[in-house]
Structure formats: structure tokens, C-alpha cells
Amino acid sequence: MHWQDAIRWNADGLVPAIAQDAATHRVLTLAWMNRESLTLTEKTREVHYWSRSRGQLWRKGEKSGHVQRVREIRLDCDRDAILLLVEQVGGIACHTGRERCFYRRLDDGGWHTVEPVLEDPKTVYGHE
């Protein structure tokens, strides 16, 4: 059996992938992978995801330079989620210019931004 056959892919052929900083263990982002993106990630040791909104592969950091270098790839007990232990180059994982995508916290019945922008997305992507 091929190692990817152990994964329980969803009906769209995708699996959620959580990127976690290998040194700090902070959760950086959650994105989606298909077989091709997972194969590229395993071979290149740089994270590739599947964009559901654009319907295409993308290598993390291909525009920003904020690549995710893979240290480990793990599969959860139900075999329906991937954990990527990564080195986050540049310290920014979020397209908003923050360290991680989970920068909002629920307080007093509302979502509040609790982490700063480290780099203006306009300087990284030219828009946002």
C-alpha cells in the first residue's frame, strides 16, 4: 500500500493540514492538501497546499518568500488530518502579515485582533 492510501481524504480528495512551528509549537495556519501537494511537500521538503478558492496548487511563500520548510509530516489517529512541523522562514505565516493566521480571540462576545501585523501585506503581495 502507498503511504498516501492510509489517509482518509474527504469527498473532494482533500485533507486539512495544520502547520505548526517546529521550535515554538505555535499553530501557524490550517490549509488544505491534495495528493499532489502532499507529494510535492514530501519530495521538496517545502510545504505546498491546494487552494480551494483558486482551484490550484500553491507553494507557501512563492510570492512572499515566507516558505515553510518541513521538519516532520504526521498523520492523526483518525487518519483525516495532517500535522506539518515546519520552520517558518521570515516568521510570517499569514497573508495578513502576521506570524500566524489565528490572530483573533473571542472576548466578551466578539472577535478581537490580538496579534500585530509584522509586515504590511501590500509590500509583500502588492495588494490586500
Report the residue count for the chain.
128
Task: Say how many domains are in the chain.
Answer: 1
Radius of gyration over alpha carbons of the chain, in Å?
15
The SS3 assignment for 9 reads: coil
Task: Report CA dihedral (26, 48, 10, 52) to the nearest 10 degrees.
Answer: 100
Residue 27's pLDDT band, with cuts at 50, 70 and 90, is very high
Structural domain that includes position 81: 3-125
pLDDT of the residue at 127: 55
| CATH classification at residue 106 | 3.10.20.810
pLDDT of the residue at 125: 76
Task: Report CA dihedral (100, 80, 86, 30) to the nearest 10 degrees.
Answer: -10
In this model, does residue 128 exceed pLDDT 80? Answer: no
In this model, does residue 124 exceed pLDDT 90? Answer: no
